[in-house]
C-alpha cells in the first residue's frame, strides 16, 4: 500500500514495488483500499473489507498482476537484458507487456536499446525500416497483428515497383522486420501463432562475384604510393582487412591503439560482439607500426574517426567508407585489375582464398565472426569462373 497518496474517499493505492540496482520505482495495480483493510505483513486485503463482493477475488487479481510482472522479469533475465535496463525501463516493459502492440513503437524502443549498447549500425537498420514502413502506411500506426503475410507481400510489391529497387534490397528490409518481430515474440508483445515469416520466404538473387585472385591482392600490396596520401591509406585498409581475417571496415575504423597488445590485435566485433585476438604477422606489422608512429589524435589507430560521440564517430566512418570505395576504383585502374574493387572484396577474397587453402568451413566462419555457418556459405557459394575452370582442367587431365 502506497500511504503517501490518499484518494478523496480515504483509500490508498495498491502498487507493485520494483527495485533494481538499488533504484526503486512503483507500478500501479489500479486497486485502492482504506488503510485499515490492508494487511501489511501478508501484502493482501483483509477478509473484512466491505466494498467488494469477494475479497478473495480482489487478492487473486493482485496476485495475477504480480505474477505477470515476474513473468516479464524472468523473460528479460532469460534474454540477458536485465543488466542493461534501469528499474524504470523494466517497469515500462511490465506495464506495456499487453498494452504495447505498436510495431513502430517497439522497433524504435529496440533501436534506442541498441544505441545504448553502441550497436549503432543495427540501430540504424531498425529505425530505417520503421521509417520506410511509415511511408508505406502513410504514417498510420502498424500493430503486430497487422504484420501478416498479405501485408508483407504488399510491402514487397510496393518496394519492387519503384525504379532501381532490387530483390536483395527488399530481402534486407524483410530480415530487419523479421528480427524486430522475433524480439517482439520473445518479450511477449505478440503471440508466436501469428508469426507471418512461417509462410513468407525472403528471396534473394546471387550477388556479383566479389573475390579476386591472389595475384591481384599482391598487386595491391606492392602498389607504390606516396606515404601519407589517400591512396596510401586506402591500400593499407584493403590489405589490413584481407590479412586480418577479412576484418570489416567498421571494425577497422573503431580499432584503437590500445587494441594492439603484445604483438596481437585484440578487439570486439561491432556487429556481433564476438571477441577477436589476431596475431600481427610480418606482413601486417609494418602497416600497424606506421600508424602507431603517426598517431591519430583521437586515439583510434587509423585516420578515419576524429569526433567524440558514438553517433558522430559512425558518421565519420560512413563518410570515409564512401571515399574509400571511390579510391578503390582508382586503385583497381592503377593496378590493372579488371574486377570491381569495394570494401567487401577484401573480406570475400579472404574467405575464398582460405577455402582454396583447405581451411575448414567452421574455422573460416569463426575467423570471420559469423554466428552461423550459413552466413559463411553465402560468401563462398559463388566461385570465380577461373577457379571453376582450373578445377575442370585438373579433373579432365586425370
Backbone angles phi, psi at 271, to 5 degrees: -75, -45
**In CATH, which of 1.10.150.130, 3.40.640.10, 3.40.50.880, 3.30.1330.10 is domain 100-198?**
1.10.150.130
Nearest alpha-carbon partner for 100 in 188, 12, 6: 188
SS (H, E, C) the chain: CCCCCCCCCCEEEEEEEEEECCEEEEEEEEEEEEHHHEECCCCEECCCCCCCCCHHHHHHHHHHHHHHHHHHHHHHHHCCCHHHCCHHHHHHHHHHHHHCCEHHHHHHHHHHHHHHCCCHHHHHHHHHHHHHHHHHCCCCCCEHHHCCHHHHHHHHHHHHCCCCCCHHHHHHHHHHHHHHHHHHHHCCCCCHHHCHHHCCCCCCCCCCCCCCCHHHHHHHHCCCCCCCCHHHHHHHHHHHHHHCCCCCHHHHHCCEHHHEECCEEEEECCCCCCEEEEECCCCCHHHHHHHHHCCCCCCECCCCCCCCCHHHHHHHHHHHHHHHHHHHHHHHHHHCCCCCCCHHHHHHHHHHHHHHCCCCHHHHHHHHCCCCHHHHHHHHCCCCHHHHHHHHHHHHCC
Q: How far apart are CA 45 and CA 47, in angstroms?
A: 7
The dihedral over CA atoms of 157, 161, 163, 168, expressed in degrees to the nearest 10, equals 10
Q: How far apart are the first and last CA of the chain?
A: 86
Question: Where do the structural domains in the chain lie, given as residue ranges?
Answer: 11-86, 100-198, 214-396
User: For residue 343, what pLDDT is reported?
Assistant: 92
Q: How far apart are CA 64 and CA 58, in angstroms?
A: 10
Nine cell digits for residue 214: 591472389
- The CATH architecture one would assign to domain 214-396 is Orthogonal Bundle (1.10)
User: For residue 398, what pLDDT is reported?
Assistant: 43
**If you search the block for the grid coordinates 503517501, which residue do you land on?**
4
Q: How far apart are CA 365 and CA 235, in angstroms?
A: 25
Nearest-10 crossing angle of helices 310-335, 343-356 = 70
Q: Which residues of 173-189 are buried (b: 16+ CB within 10 A; e: fewer)?
A: bbebbbbbbebbeebbb
Q: How far apart are CA 251 and CA 239, in angstroms?
A: 14
**C-beta separation of 342 from 352 below 8 A:** no
Print pLDDT tens along the chain (398 aa).
988 878 767 888 899 999 998 888 888 888 888 889 999 888 899 988 876 667 888 888 899 999 989 998 998 888 888 887 888 888 888 886 444 578 999 999 999 988 877 788 889 999 999 999 999 999 999 999 899 999 999 999 999 999 989 998 999 999 999 999 999 888 777 878 788 898 899 888 766 657 888 899 999 999 999 999 999 999 999 999 999 988 999 999 999 999 999 999 998 888 777 788 899 999 999 999 999 999 999 999 999 999 988 889 999 999 999 999 999 999 999 999 988 899 989 888 888 888 777 777 777 777 776 666 666 666 555 555 555 555 445 545 54
Amino acid at each position: 500500500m502506497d500511504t503517501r497518496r490518499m484518494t478523496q474517499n480515504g483509500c490508498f493505492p495498491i502498487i507493485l514495488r520494483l527495485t533494481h540496482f538499488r533504484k526503486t520505482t512503483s507500478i500501479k495495480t489500479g486497486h485502492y483500499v482504506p488503510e485499515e483493510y490492508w494487511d501489511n505483513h501478508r501484502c493482501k486485503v483483509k477478509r473484512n473489507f466491505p466494498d467488494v463482493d469477494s475479497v478473495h477475488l480482489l487478492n487473486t487479481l493482485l496476485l495475477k498482476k504480480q505474477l505477470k510482472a515476474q513473468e516479464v522479469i524472468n523473460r528479460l533475465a532469460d534474454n540477458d537484458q536485465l543488466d542493461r535496463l534501469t528499474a524504470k525501463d523494466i517497469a515500462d516493459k511490465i506495464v506495456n507487456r499487453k498494452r504495447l502492440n505498436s510495431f513502430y513503437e517497439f522497433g524504435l524502443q529496440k533501436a534506442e536499446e541498441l544505441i545504448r549498447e553502441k550497436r549503432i549500425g543495427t540501430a540504424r537498420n531498425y529505425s530505417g525500416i520503421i521509417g520506410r514502413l511509415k511511408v508505406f502506411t502513410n504514417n498510420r500506426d502498424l500493430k503486430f497483428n497487422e504484420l501478416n503475410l498479405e501485408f508483407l507481400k504488399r510491402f514487397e510489391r510496393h518496394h519492387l515497383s519503384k525504379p532501381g529497387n532490387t530483390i536483395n534490397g527488399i530481402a534486407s528490409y524483410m530480415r530487419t522486420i523479421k528480427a524486430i518481430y522475433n524480439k517482439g515474440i520473445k518479450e511477449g508483445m505478440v503471440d508466436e501463432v501469428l508469426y507471418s515469416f512461417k509462410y513468407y520466404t525472403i528471396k534473394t538473387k546471387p550477388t556479383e562475384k566479389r573475390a579476386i585472385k591472389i595475384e591481384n591482392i599482391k598487386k595491391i600490396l606492392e602498389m607504390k604510393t606516396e606515404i601519407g596520401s589517400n591512396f596510401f591509406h586506402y591500400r593499407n585498409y584493403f590489405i589490413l582487412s584481407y590479412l586480418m581475417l577479412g576484418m570489416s571496415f567498421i571494425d577497422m575504423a573503431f580499432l584503437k591503439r590500445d587494441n594492439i597488445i603484445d604483438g596481437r590485435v585484440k578487439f570486439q566485433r561491432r556487429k556481433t560482439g564476438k571477441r577477436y585476438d589476431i596475431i600481427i604477422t610480418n606482413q601486417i606489422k609494418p602497416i600497424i607500426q606506421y600508424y602507431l608512429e603517426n598517431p591519430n589524435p583521437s586515439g583510434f589507430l587509423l585516420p578515419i574517426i576524429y569526433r567524440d560521440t558514438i553517433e558522430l564517430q559512425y558518421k565519420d566512418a560512413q563518410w570515409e567508407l564512401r571515399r574509400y570505395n571511390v579510391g578503390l576504383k582508382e586503385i583497381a585502374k592503377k593496378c590493372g585489375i579488371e574486377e570491381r574493387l569495394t570494401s567487401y572484396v577484401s573480406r570475400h577474397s579472404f574467405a575464398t582464398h582460405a577455402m582454396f587453402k583447405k581451411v575448414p568451413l567452421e574455422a573460416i566462419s569463426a575467423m570471420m565472426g559469423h554466428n552461423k555457418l550459413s552466413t559463411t556459405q553465402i560468401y563462398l557459394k559463388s566461385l570465380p569462373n577461373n577457379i571453376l575452370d582450373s578445377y575442370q582442367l585438373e579433373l579432365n587431365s586425370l
